[in-house]
Amino acid sequence: MHKLLAKLIDAQALASGVFVHTYHAPEISRSAEPGQFVNIRVSSSVAPLLRRPFSVLSSDGREQFRILFEVKGQGTEILSRKQPGAEVDCVGPLGQPFQIKAGKLNLVIAGGMGVAPLFFLMQQLRTKPYPTLLLYGVRTKACLYLVDELVASGVQLQIFTDDGSAGQQGMVTDFVEEYMQPGCAIYACGPMEMIKVLTHKVHSAGLECQVSLENQLGCGVGACLGCVVKVHDGYARVCCDGPVFDSNALEF
């Protein structure tokens, strides 16, 4: 865990309000694992006051890491206006990564921007002997990001859109049962509603999965107990007990 100035070396707009940033920060890039995040102070002003968390999208393991983010409010808006060369105040890597399980199939389920931590996970799953299938659900075709990179990396990809503008029409959770199989390892990230439905279906099938959650963070390092979610034996902190949780542990 480091606090440092990461140099923004590349900023790409993937769509209106959606960006990929590449940062130079060896300390973070070397140790980041899929599912972990960085916590960025977008402004030295007191508004917005808190850091903004972003999953590590990928890391070259040596010098650079990337994030994928969507402009939601003031914080991401300020971040999106930064130009290459900017030094960005960054704490990371933070949180518990995905545990790579030796399933016969790696079933990776992404909802919207939830693809970010999973992209990094899939980079690592590539080196494993089992095939990886990504179920990628978005509202509409324009919200599909990084598909070329995903395809190029050899991931098997099934797309779902709410409006049928690409892939299968419908929600990824409507079809997920078709892809589950005994012994598969399931990893998911997306809106809370999706995670809930998904977890229910996964558990009904006698399986379990790892899910990455989001929440409003305070400290980002486990000190404030502000970011908790309900787990069976009380509350767990998203920032350091998560963001990746075993679906078994969570209570919805």
Partner 1 sequence: MPDLEIQIGELTLKNPVTVASGTFGYGQEYEAFYDPSLLGAIFLKSVTLEERPGNPPPRLVETPAGLINSIGLQNVGLDRFLDEVVPLLEGIDTVLIANIAGNTVDEYVQLAEALSDCPGLAALEVNVSCPNVKEGGIAFGTSADMIREVTQEVVAASALPIIVKLTPNVADIVSMAHAAEEAGATAVSLVNTFLALAIDIETRRPILGNATGGLSGPAIKPIALRMVWQVARSTNIPIIGMGGIMTGTDAIEFLMAGATAIAVGTANFVNPLAPVEIVKELEMFLEAHHHTSVREIINVVEG
Ligand X SMILES: Cc1cc2nc3c(=O)[nH]c(=O)nc-3n(C[C@H](O)[C@H](O)[C@H](O)COP(=O)(O)OP(=O)(O)OC[C@H]3O[C@@H](n4cnc5c(N)ncnc54)[C@H](O)[C@@H]3O)c2cc1C
Ligand Y SMILES: Cc1cc2nc3c(=O)[nH]c(=O)nc-3n(C[C@H](O)[C@H](O)[C@H](O)COP(=O)(O)O)c2cc1C
Q: Does 9 bind partner 1 (CB under 8 A)?
A: no
Min. distance of Cβ 214 from ligand X in angstroms? 4
Kindly identify the residues of this chain, within the stretch 196-235, that bind ligand Y according to CB under 6 A.
218, 224, 226
Q: Which does 55 bind (CB under 5 to 8 A by kind): ligand FES, ligand X, partner 1, none?
A: ligand X
Min. distance of Cβ 82 from its own copies in angstroms? 11
CA distances from 182 to 39, 98, 103, 104, 194 (A): 37, 20, 9, 8, 21
Q: Does 225 bind partner 1 (CB under 8 A)?
A: yes
Kindly identify the residues of this chain, within the stretch 200-219, that bind ligand FES according to CB under 6 A.
217-219
* Nearest C-alpha neighbor of 158 from the set 119, 132, 181: 132
Across 95-216, the runs of DSSP E, i.e. the strands, are 106-111, 132-138, 156-161, 168-169, 185-189, 209-212
Q: Does 218 bind partner 1 (CB under 8 A)?
A: yes
Across the chain, the runs of DSSP E, i.e. the strands, are 2-15, 18-24, 37-41, 52-55, 58-59, 64-70, 87-94, 106-111, 132-138, 156-161, 168-169, 185-189, 209-212, 228-231, 234-237, 244-246
Position of tokens 């060896």? 26
Q: Does 72 bind partner 1 (CB under 8 A)?
A: no
Q: Could you tell me if 81 and 74 are in contact, meaning their C-beta atoms sit under 8 angstroms apart? A: no
Q: Does 80 bind its own copies (CB under 8 A)?
A: no
Q: Does 69 bind ligand X (CB under 6 A)?
A: yes
Question: For ligand FES, which residue has the nearest CB?
Answer: 239
Q: Could you tell me if 36 and 51 are in contact, meaning their C-beta atoms sit under 8 angstroms apart? A: no
Of 132-140, 155-163, 196-204, 226-234, the segment contacting partner 1 by CB under 8 A is 226-234
Please select the residue that binds ligand FES; options are 116, 237, 243, 245, rule is CB under 6 A: 237
Q: Could you tell me if 135 and 115 are in contact, meaning their C-beta atoms sit under 8 angstroms apart? A: no
Q: Does 74 bind its own copies (CB under 8 A)?
A: yes
Please select the residue that binds partner 1; options are 228, 244, 247, 250, rule is CB under 8 A: 228
Q: Which does 237 bind (CB under 5 to 8 A by kind): ligand X, partner 1, ligand FES, none?
A: ligand FES
Amino acid symbol at 74? Q
Q: Cα–Cα distance between 215 and 34 in angstroms, integer?
A: 18
Q: Cis (ω within 30 of 0) for the bond into 97? A: no
Please select the residue that binds ligand FES; options are 220, 229, 247, 250, rule is CB under 6 A: 220
CA distances from 65 to 182, 190, 238 (A): 34, 21, 22
Q: Does 191 bind partner 1 (CB under 8 A)?
A: no
Min. distance of Cβ 247 from ligand X in angstroms? 17
Min. distance of Cβ 70 from partner 1 in angstroms? 18
Q: Which does 211 bind (CB under 5 to 8 A by kind): ligand Y, its own copies, ligand X, none?
A: none
Binding site for its own copies (CB under 8 A): 43, 45-48, 74
